[in-house]
Amino acid sequence: MKRVLALLFVSTTALFAQPAVPGSWTIAGDVQGYPVNETCTFTQDKDKITGSCKGSDGKTYDTTVKVDDKKVVFVHGGEYEGQALTLTYTGTYNDKGELSGDIDVQPLNYAGTFTAKKTEAK
């Protein structure tokens, strides 16, 4: 009986566990009518997650990541018409293991939305 309960606990925990952030993600979104398309790669060293995001313009930006339960916040720089930007993505996991949420672009005070899907390893 103990063995059955332990097995049930492990399988239930795995079923409700959030996906791991480290890995490659494809980001699609929109900010004030401007499409956002990025590929981000995150790595984890102990409790610190870092990485980089590459935009459709081919530029790569160092990215910091914070995870709090199902909430994920990642931040990186950017540029628009020569002006330096900070993009903050705040998302939560859905039942498919994808992220979705809001994008905040400063100092322009623009807002948008995004979805992120983990890229399958090939």
* Dihedral (CA of 16, 102, 27, 64) sign: negative
Topology (CATH level 3) of domain 19-118: Lipocalin (2.40.128)
- pTM assigned to the model: 0.80
pLDDT at 65 over 60: yes
pLDDT at 112 over 70: yes
Could you state, in order of their start, the residue ranges of all structural domains in the chain?
19-118
pLDDT band (50, 70, 90) for residue 122 = low
What is the C-alpha radius of gyration for the chain, rounded to an integer number of angstroms? 17
